[in-house]
Amino acid sequence: MMHEEQFSPENFQYALESCNSFSYFDHSGRTVLALRLIMGKGAPVALYEGERALTIGARLYRNIGSFQTPKKGDFLDEFRIQTAGFELRKGAVVELPMMITLPENPDYEMMLEVSLVKELQFWLCDIGHPPLILPVARRHAIIVPDRDAPHHFDASIASSADIRAREARYEGIIFALLNQLSRNKQ
């Protein structure tokens, strides 16, 4: 059985990243978040499901901070990757999907805190490891706030108000095109 000390930041090192700069939600509030896990010191380690498993988890919180600097509010839900067990050695890089489902019709912004989890014992972000923090624009998108990444858009696009305004403009364009098509058929 592995203990908390074995997973302390001094003895165990890893990095979690989002594989995409955006993850859009469907009409039911679901998306698949693609995560990249990079193993460092303390490997080999096995990821698996079940009681006392080591896995990747995400906790969904109400965001009481800003979109650019999220801050944890009320806890809303938590999620896990679904995978068959496998071992990771030092330097290993794996990409894994995690299904995320958001509450229906929220009137607030949210954030995801992604970390390794030792089931029924502790979250590694609670014992000193930095979590991957991802702001969630209501039921529209998860946006990776990495300003140094070459695929990152301007800061104005990262605000939820801009996302909703852009979405409304696209809807208007789509409806205009559909109306034009229906007129052409008549």
We report the CATH number of the domain holding residue 121 as 2.60.40.10
* Predicted local confidence at residue 115, as pLDDT: 93
- The number of folded domains in the chain is 2
Residues 103 and 174 in one domain: no
169 lies in which domain range?
A: 153-186
* Predicted local confidence at residue 6, as pLDDT: 80
Are 31 and 146 in contact, with CB atoms under 8 Å apart? no
Residues 29 and 107 in one domain: yes
CA distance 152 to 123: 29
Low-confidence ranges of the chain (pLDDT < 50): 1, 147, 149-158
* Predicted local confidence at residue 73, as pLDDT: 95
Residues 162 and 129 in one domain: no
- Its pTM surpasses 0.95: no
Are 131 and 114 in contact, with CB atoms under 8 Å apart? yes
81-101 in b/e form (b: 16+ CB < 10 A) is beeeeeebeeebeeebebebe
Pair of tokens at residue 151: 């695929």
Q: Which residues, including other chains, have CB under 8 Å from residue 186's CB and lie 6 or more apart?
A: none
Residues 128 and 165 in one domain: no
Residues 31 and 45 in one domain: yes
* Predicted local confidence at residue 21, as pLDDT: 75
Residues 121 and 177 in one domain: no
* Predicted local confidence at residue 149, as pLDDT: 47
